[in-house]
Amino acid sequence: MPTFKPLRPYHPDCDGDRRNKYFYIGIVYIGLSVVYSVIETIFIYPSKVWYAPILVLVFFGFPFLLGLKASK
């Protein structure tokens, strides 16, 4: 078993690790949702899903908002 040494001491009263996790998960979700919405809008339903990017951003942006809330 390799031993893992953290770069800095762990402080239980600091939620920086949780904030970074939600922050990066939210960024990845938003990026994937934008790519999916653009592909779907251009190639599948050009005239019916003008509201799809908004819905997908609202749905997948929730972890990003959690990260912003935890960072304050």
pTM: 0.35
Determine, yes or no, domain membership for 54: yes
Determine, yes or no, domain membership for 50: yes
Share in percent of the chain as helix, strand, coil (round to 5) = 65, 0, 35
Report the pLDDT value the prediction gives residue 46, as an integer from 0 to 100.
Answer: 57
Domain of 25, in residue numbers: 16-71
Determine, yes or no, domain membership for 5: no
Could you identify the residue written with the tokens 């390799």? 2
Could you identify the residue written with the tokens 């908004």? 54
How many domains in the chain? 1
Determine, yes or no, domain membership for 59: yes
Tens digit of each residue's pLDDT (9 = 90 or more) over 17-52 = 555 677 777 788 888 888 887 777 766 665 566 666
Determine, yes or no, domain membership for 6: no
